[in-house]
Amino acid sequence: MARTRYASDRGLTSRMLVTMFLLGLVYVAFVTAFFVISPKLGVIGLAAALVFLFVQYFFSDKITTFAMHAREVSPTEAPELHGVIDRICAMSDAPKPRVAIADTDVPNAFATGRNQKNAVVCVTTGLLRRLDPVELEGVLAHEMAHVAHRDVAVMTIASFLGICAGLLTRIGLEFGLWGGFNNRRDSDNNMAVMVMAVVAVSAVAYAISFLLTRALSRYRELSADRAAALLTGRPSALASALTKVTGEIARIPTNDLRAAQPFNAFFFTPAFGKGFSVSQLFSTHPTLEKRLEQLNKISGELSRGV
């Protein structure tokens, strides 16, 4: 963890190391399987994966802000927002990230970037309209905790294998359905077997990556909540923001929520409507009840001077 005043979290650090180690093993098995299936396919897959990883890691901030239609804003353009971030930087002794605003009514925020020097903290116009300055400070302290803990970079790398595997699975299935299984000659049958092997390996890699990144994502949200609450000394403000944002998201049109859902793992709170239900095993965030319970416990500890 970088040297800031954010509370360290050894549990988060150990989970990030374990996740990266396990994903590394999956990645090695993933590439090895491709070489076994076809050496040429393995070389092409490895080269494409390395290029994709390079782009995702070094340009994640630009890719994410572009996809969210966000633009960086100067202190002159958004003085109140910059003022809140300046206060958090003063409290945390962390370098100031670039500041961006996404023009969407979905109330949310996210942090991106491979390190503190390249970090971007983005808020939506919907969030700015709904939160008061104290609540906004809690949310931004939460997002900057992700940067300080370096879990943004880890999540960017961890999601890489799942994205590659998912993409290869989809390409393989489409190829098999539309091109690989049309004829019954021996060569065509061999191609069909190869395609199905690629799909099977990719699907297994995707499933393992999916579960590992979801487990890490849920813990890192609790860690950021805790770090932000301790830094600001106002866990109740963060709890109020969580409750308000979760309630407001339920009123957002479904189409707007679907457009934002690909970024759920990086959001302050997931963009799901009121009627959505999902197994906790597959969720990117802990339940609202669990987050509020932790904040209430921290509030009690602070009041007792623990």
Token digits for 1? Answer: 């963890």
Give the C-alpha distances (Å, rounded to integers) separating 284 from 134, 210, 247: 26, 10, 18
pLDDT of residue 252: 77
Token digits for 106? Answer: 């979905």
- Lowest mean per-residue pLDDT among 83-87, 227-231, 269-273: 269-273
pLDDT of residue 114: 84
Please state the φ and ψ torsions of residue 77, each to the nearest 5 degrees.
-75, -35
Residues in the annotated binding site for Zn(2+): 142, 146, 221
List the catalytic residues.
Answer: 143
pLDDT category at 20 given cuts 50, 70, 90 is: confident
pLDDT greater than 90 at residue 136: yes
3-state secondary structure of 120: strand
**Model confidence over 168-218: pLDDT tens digits?**
656 555 555 445 445 455 555 666 676 677 677 777 777 888 888 888 999
**Model confidence over 168-177: pLDDT tens digits?**
656 555 555 4
The sign one gets for the Cα dihedral 139, 63, 262, 156 is: negative
Q: Is 166 exposed, middle or buried (0-12, 13-18, 19+ CB in 10 A)?
A: middle
Across 32-41, 130-139, 200-209, 255-264, the highest mean pLDDT is recorded for: 130-139
Look up tokens 């609202």; give the residue: 288
For the entire predicted model, the pTM comes to 0.84
